[in-house]
Amino acid sequence: QEGGVVALFKICRQDCFRCLYPQTLRTLASVCCVEEGMHQLEKVDGILCLADILTDNSHSEATHAEAAAVIAQITSPHLTFTQHLSSFLENMEEIVTALVKLCQEASSGEVFLLASAALANITFFDTMACEILLQLNAMKILLAACSNKHIVDTPYSRDQVVTILANMSVLDQCASEIIQGNGVQLLMEMLFERSSSGNSAEVAACERVQQKSAVTLARLSRDPEVADAAVKLSCIPRLIKLCRSPPERNNSDSVLVACLAALRRLAVMSPDGLEDSDFQQLVKPRLVDSFLLCTNMEESFV
């Protein structure tokens, strides 16, 4: 109400205040979680300002990371008022390009998390983003980052990466990128994601990682080469375990549904990988019947 967003962007447009950019952008990320903040951001061409900051290599990594945090906030799929961001589409290609570069060059897990979270949200925001990411070799960059435990160091970061992979996997060209980048191996590892702390937020992030990796496998396994790689990496036994053992999936229904869907897709490509009982209970019935069977197992353990 006091014009805070206007004042903060005024600071971000003056070189003499460069040392204040990270703190100013962090404040903007907080204020722009409400609709009024978003309206003000649009009025002062805030998206263009953020794009300018992200694409200016003379800024510090901290400034770029906080600009990514603002982008992540205003494109959050949980917000109902992002349709106002018409100017975002005009600047999307250069913003996505800058965020991919930030992921590739991130010096810490926190910077990677902010950049990848922004990219993940953008893939929900507009489907064209996935095509831009494909052109930028983003999948290769993200898969490479996952092998660096210093950069992708928490379930929260893996959640962002697998969200991007899941959303990109609707494109046919993604299958070959996944194969080349050893992505099936990564998706298999993500099916084993477990919380080390037991913290409820971390447990929820682990569930999302398991669910989205199963969704990505299901989508990509329409390509025989991906399905073959998944079978060779023993994805079928792991998916069966997640379906049949509720503790393995933290009793999550969303993980169960995703695993059943992935299992059914792989079973078409490789029926030999299934025991007869698995076929009869997890693959042959309607999905809803298999789901009810597996959730009833959960009740019998209690």
How confident is the model over 111-145, as pLDDT tens digits? Answer: 999 999 999 999 988 778 999 999 999 999 999 99
- Specify the pLDDT at position 296: 64
pLDDT over 90 for what percent of the chain?
67
pLDDT bucket at 298, cuts 50 / 70 / 90:
very low
Lowest mean pLDDT among 32-36, 101-105, 249-253, 298-302: 298-302
Contacts (Cβ under 8 Å, ≥6 apart) of 106:
61, 112, 115, 145, 151
Is 266 in contact with 239 (CB distance < 8 Å)? yes
3-state DSSP helix/strand/coil % of the chain, to nearest 5: 75, 0, 25
- For the chain, report the end-to-end CA distance as a whole number of angstroms: 52
Taking Cα atoms as reference points, which of 27, 101, 15, 125 lies closest to residue 69? Answer: 27
Task: Kindly report the average pLDDT of the chain as a whole number.
Answer: 90
Which of 95-109, 161-175, 248-262, 275-289 is predicted least confidently?
A: 275-289
Assess whether pLDDT exceeds 60 at residue 86. yes
Q: What is the distance between the alpha carbons of residues 25 and 82, in angstroms, rounded to a whole number?
A: 19
- Checking if the pLDDT of 299 tops 70, the result is no
Other residues' Cβ atoms within 10 Å of the Cβ of residue 125: 20
pLDDT value at 284 more than 90: no
Name the more confident of 56 and 179. Answer: 56
pLDDT of res. 300? 38
pLDDT at 278 (0 to 100): 74
Higher pLDDT, 277 or 92: 92
Task: State how far the Cα of 53 lies from the Cα of 68, in Å rounded to an integer.
Answer: 10
Region 12-24: mean pLDDT is 94
Tell me which of 65-79, 126-140, 161-175, 269-283 is least confident: 269-283
**Is residue 82 pLDDT above 50, yes or no?**
yes
Can you give the pLDDT at residue 294?
Answer: 81
For 267, other C-beta atoms within 10 Å of its C-beta total: 22
Mean pLDDT of 165-182: 90
Evaluate whether 113 touches 160 at the Cβ level (below 8 Å): yes
Mean pLDDT for the stretch of residues 192-210: 93
Question: Is residue 49 over pLDDT 70?
Answer: yes
